[in-house]
Structure 1
């Protein structure tokens, strides 16, 4: 990653920013609200891809007003957190989910808390939050997953000592590539060596690329009508928008370009004006995307499978909430995950799909999102 000093976020009322040093060898930038009053219960917010702690700017003051100490940090590979190796040929294992969960716990402890009232994770941050609650329920005492449901560790073979192994079928990548219109999964693309250059130096420019990417995954784009999938076949997956199941020959920049908003639509965007989008543009122009993309390499590869398989059969034993936008395909992206999540989280408090929001629900509909989160915390008896 670049050694340039990261820009500060713009000042926001009621929110301060600072660096926490020596967090797993990193300097971690945090945003913090409700810090003035000691001994408040802590709510930890974990952003997704391609986002930053800045993504929580609209909900942090409201949570603080409700009596919580609220913290969001730039996760490993992102923004103002420094000290990570973002090379493609660097230490990829440093970006596994386990490392992100440990980072989160170190932030909690550094701030003088032994536990959090809730860990809230969006997008890939939902996977990190779920993993943290799975392995350390004493620290992460309730869980809110946003946009991506965690359906539990994989089942391991059992009682198969006297059975011959079942030959595996063709991998999903091969099945997608064999379709009449050859396709590929965006998760696999993000794990590929060409992903960073495609997104960091797109023909339309970084600002226009990110504008289009945020647009097509939001409720603003008319093509988002999510629904549950049934078979999980390659042909069915190919019915998802191309930002999830891509044309095989295209990168992400070319995938989202045809559906980019017009200049007039972009200027009228009420939840992500250009001044806010520019925060992301400057951050990723400085750091690049590779550090962030390395999580996908772990998650989709052997590292991710092996670390989560250790917990096969274990459930999340803390109160849990799932929140997503009604226009967010992330809810159904992994066929059957939403249904399996209920078994993985026996203390599930509810599934809340919010009107008028797509994938960026805490930015698109911050009032409805924060109301759902505060209601969940109050139901668990988490009183400031």
Structure 2
């Protein structure tokens, strides 16, 4: 695998590190929690080799990108604004935007709010949800759930202390237990113990899709930055639901693609099955909904060739 060019740019008032490779139509790749541009390493290679200009940023709060101190600086509109301005800084007028996990929420939001700029969208793991006053935290509370990891992440400093106590062990646990290789209690959902990691195990040996070099890359970055930036995305969920009010009930008409692993525990969240079932209405431009059998949450890392092939089929047909 060739190494992409790393560069730091001034984007939307912050310094943003990007990984860039290739020439051609622009494709932006937005990572989720707790990841980095590096989670797209396989797709950067595959898409750039196929004639696309691929740019994967460290998102706001992560890696080599600035992490503002104020929690309020991580709303969905800030994150969408980062991608809008990144297109401008790159000297482009349009892009296809793709995202995984929290990055999918950003990608869907970017396509929803700026269809002039983002002419197609790919989401992974987290399906499109038209803006609604009932955010996921309210949905959990309405079901009498008070021990979900999304709720645990709300108090500043609590999850940081747990994850940063042993950063390498946290990374090993998360990547292993969030994958399709794990058959224990779902990694993402309700917490059977006192903390986020209590029910997760450090693997005796890494799954085949993950290497020690991968672990070292993630560990080195999160040891340096901590997890505060990424966790702050969760702490603006209610505020973001309010800010997205102008787009309530709106749908995405551009060409779209969704994929997830069948063993991704996020698919078991309240309302997620209903969101996927509503795609014919909310994503009238949908060109594929692919559930990859046996894959877990880290779908583009667990099934790189399959994900890249599906992305390229979609991109070439645009």
TM-score bracket for the superposition, by shorter chain length: over 0.9
Residue 315 of structure 1 corresponds to which residue in structure 2? 251
Post-superposition Cα deviations, 1:6-61, rounded to whole Å, max 9, x if no partner, equal: xxxxxx615211111x21221111101104xxxx1100000000000011111111
The alignment partner of 1:349 has SS state of: strand
> How far, CA to CA, are the matches of 2:21 and 2:283 in structure 1?
29
Q: Superposition pairs for residues 280-359 of structure 1, below 5 Å? A: 280-299=218-237, 301=238, 303-335=239-271, 336-359=274-297
Q: How does 1:42-121 map to 2 (within 5 A)?
A: 42-82=26-66, 84-86=67-69, 91-116=70-95, 118-121=96-99
Any idea what the Cα deviations from partners look like across 1:183-223, whole Å, max 9, x if unmatched? x111111222211111111xxx2211210111111011124
Specify the alignment match of 1:16 in structure 2. 5
Any gaps of 5 or more consecutive residues in structure 1? Answer: 1-11, 157-168, 178-183, 224-239
SS of alignment partner, residue 244 of structure 2: helix
After the TM superposition, which segments of 4 or more aligned residues of structure 1 sit over 4 Å from their partners?
A: none
Query: Is the Cα–Cα contact under 8 Å of residues 357 and 364 in structure 1 kept in the other structure?
Result: yes
CA RMSD for the aligned pairs? 2.0
Asked whether 1:144 is paired with 2:122, we answer yes
Q: Secondary structure at the match of 1:252?
A: coil
| Matched residue, 2:191 | 246
1:220 corresponds to 2:181: yes
Mapped to 2, the partners of 1:176 and 1:312 lie a distance apart of 25
Q: Secondary structure at the match of 1:172?
A: helix
What is the distance in 2 between the residues matched to 1:41 and 1:110?
15
Q: TM-score, normalised by structure 1?
A: 0.77
Q: Deviations over 1:124-149 (max 9, x none)?
A: 00000000000000111101000010
Show the counterpart of 1:261. 203
**Separation (CA, whole Å) in 2 of partners of 1:283 and 1:251:** 23
Q: Structure 1 residue aligned with 2:13, among 25, 49, 61?
A: 25
Please state which structure has a larger fraction of its residues in helix.
2
**Alignment equivalent of 2:155, drawn from 186, 192, 198:** 192
Quick one: which of 93, 106, 113 aligns to 1:135? 113
> Are the structure 2 counterparts of residues 331 and 312 from structure 1 closer, same or farther at C-alpha, using a change threshold of 3 Å?
same
8 Å contact kept, 1:45–1:121: yes
CA separation of 1:32/1:126 partners in 2, compared to 1, >3 Å: closer, same or farther? same
SS in 2 for 1:142: strand
TM-score w.r.t. the length of structure 2 is 0.92
CA distance in 2, matches of 1:186, 1:243: 7
Q: Which has the larger radius of gyration?
A: 1
User: Does the Cα contact within 8 Å between 1:243 and 1:255 map onto a contact in 2?
Assistant: no
Q: 1:153 aligns with which of 103, 127, 131?
A: 131
Could you list the runs of 5+ residues in structure 2 that have no partner in the other structure?
Answer: none
Change (3 A) 1:212 1:14: closer
Question: Equivalent residue of 2:232, what SS?
Answer: helix
1:170–1:293 distance in 2 versus 1, CA, 3 Å = closer
SS in 1 for 2:92: coil
Distance 1:242 1:41, change over 3 A: closer
Matched, 1:363 2:305: no
CA contact (8 A) 1:185 1:244 kept: yes
